[in-house]
Amino acid sequence: MGNGGLGAMIDWKRVADLRDEIGADGFAEVAHMFLEEADQVVHGLAQGLAADAVEGQLHFLKGSALNLGLSDLAAICQDGERRAAAGQGAGVDLGRVVAVYRQSRAALMDGLARTHAA
């Protein structure tokens, strides 16, 4: 994944729309709450979860990722959620979910910092 991949990880239009809708302070609060909860979920995924818990955790991450414009993360979570629902939870690449979350989180924080500084 090259540099171009990081920019595409986030739907910045969605981020801007949400920020316009709820205000900059509200958006910062929502983003902070999401990242706090998502950090815990991702930590659990990284430690390894029972196959029957994977679907619910991926569903949470997907919904939150969609709300915050983390499009690549949402797509990967949706794929994993489908596999888990089909009884293939053990075959979901949780390492990839964790890696994409961390990249998406870093890109979001970087983009928000640049936007706030502007």
Distance CA 92, CA 81 (A): 8
23-67 confidence digits (pLDDT tens): 888 888 888 898 999 999 998 888 887 777 888 999 999 998 998
What structural domains does the chain harbor? 3-117 (1.20.120.160)
Is the Cα torsion angle 39, 19, 104, 110 positive or negative in sign? negative
Nearest Cα neighbor of 65 from 94, 43, 97 is 97
Chain position carrying tokens 């595409």: 8
Chain position carrying tokens 């316009």: 20
Q: What pTM value is reported for the model?
A: 0.82
Q: What is the mean pLDDT of residues 97-111?
A: 90
Distance CA 118, CA 112 (A): 10
Whether residue 8 is predicted with pLDDT greater than 80 in this model: the reply is: no
